[in-house]
Amino acid sequence: MRTRKQTRAEEEGVEATSPTTPTTPTVVTITKIEGPTVSPSKRDSPQLGPRSTKLPTLLQFPLVVVLSLSLSQLGYTLTWHYSKGPLAAHARPLSSWSDWGLIVGWRVFELALGWFGNYDGYDVTALNLLSSGPPLYLLFAFYETPPSALLLTVAIETLATYIPFRLLRPLSRAHADPRAAPNADIVADRAIALLTTLLAGAIYSVTLFFAYATYLPPYLVVYFASLPSIAAAHDATYVGLLPVTLVLGFAARTFIFTPAEATTPSVEREGKFDPASASLPETVRWNFWGWSPPTKVVIRRTVLLIAVTAVNTFLQTRLTLEGVETPGAAAWSSVWVLAAAVTGLGLGAVGSI
């Protein structure tokens, strides 16, 4: 008969002699190390610089308008004897509320185009220079206005336009950091910047010279009653116009060429339209608007430049200069509208090469 102690001793002997089962090691394989996730909207955002203001959206544009008009009025008040004073001899007083409403309303509308069009401080400043330059050049060339007064006027209008946008909206990537923008080899290249500025300036110069040589002098004589002389129209030369037109050329390059070249081309453009299955509206839309994104930027900005130049030049010439009649203001505006259209076409052609 086996005792309990014998049975326990046998069991302990079996455990001691049995081999220990080896422990299988755990193998961890790292196949990929993921970096931090970047939101496409943040990664590809065209805006750089400081963050947008935390002000409520409804207050931002009214604040832009108040700041712009206040800075403009403050600048002219402090420099009246050097800016508006020399222009008073040829200025037409705004005698009715409708005249005031047109001038101020158009200024607000111009700021609205820049704000709701998502343009930055450089864009709206360049657009303002291109649209306000023609009336100032008219004063310089034909009314014997001191250049210092006109330069001071340009400085006041430039600051009154740039500062509100710069405070409330960051610069685009193309303007803040061209080397980080798409097509940086073109956008940040100084030689290309110089050549495109010369091209745009030359177009403005040739267009103005063409107008002087053809249809503009009769309009200056008939519809500009208080014009002292039109000798500037007959004495003008291509080279003599360049100091003024190169400034406009630089602004045109900033407003049209740089943003267009900094736009990423769409690689899926050809696959979005199937002529075999497309409807008639889709076909018409493709034929008229089936351009690449950079070309669309050129078209939009050129059309905007034409419209703003036409309206602003006409209003400033017709309502603020003494003795100017409607046909004369329209003729003077047409010169700069033509120059803006040809400049946009030329810069777009250069960008498509």
What is the mean pLDDT, run by run of 10 residues, along the chain of 353 residues? 50 48 47 40 44 77 96 94 89 85 94 94 96 94 92 95 94 86 86 95 96 95 90 90 94 94 66 64 69 88 97 94 94 97 95 80
Q: What is the pLDDT of residue 117?
A: 93
**CA atoms of 18 and 346, how far apart (whole Å):** 92
The runs of H, that is alpha helices, within the chain are: 4-17, 40-43, 57-78, 84-87, 97-116, 121-142, 147-168, 173-176, 184-187, 190-213, 216-223, 231-235, 238-252, 258-261, 280-289, 293-320, 326-351
Say if residues 162 and 211 touch (Cβ distance below 8 Å): no
The tokens of 33 are what?
A: 């190390």
Contacts of 327 (CB under 8 A, 6+ apart): 219, 222, 223
Residue 254 CA, chain-centre distance (Å), reads 7
Looking only at Cα atoms, what is the longest distance across the chain?
143
Q: What is the pLDDT of residue 329?
A: 96
Q: What is the pLDDT of residue 287?
A: 67
Q: What is the pLDDT of residue 138?
A: 95
- 146 by Cβ neighbours in 10 Å (0-12 / 13-18 / 19+) ranks as middle
pTM for this predicted structure: 0.81
Q: What is the pLDDT of residue 68?
A: 96
Say if residues 209 and 169 touch (Cβ distance below 8 Å): no
Q: Quick count: other Cβ atoms within 10 Å of Cβ 151?
A: 14
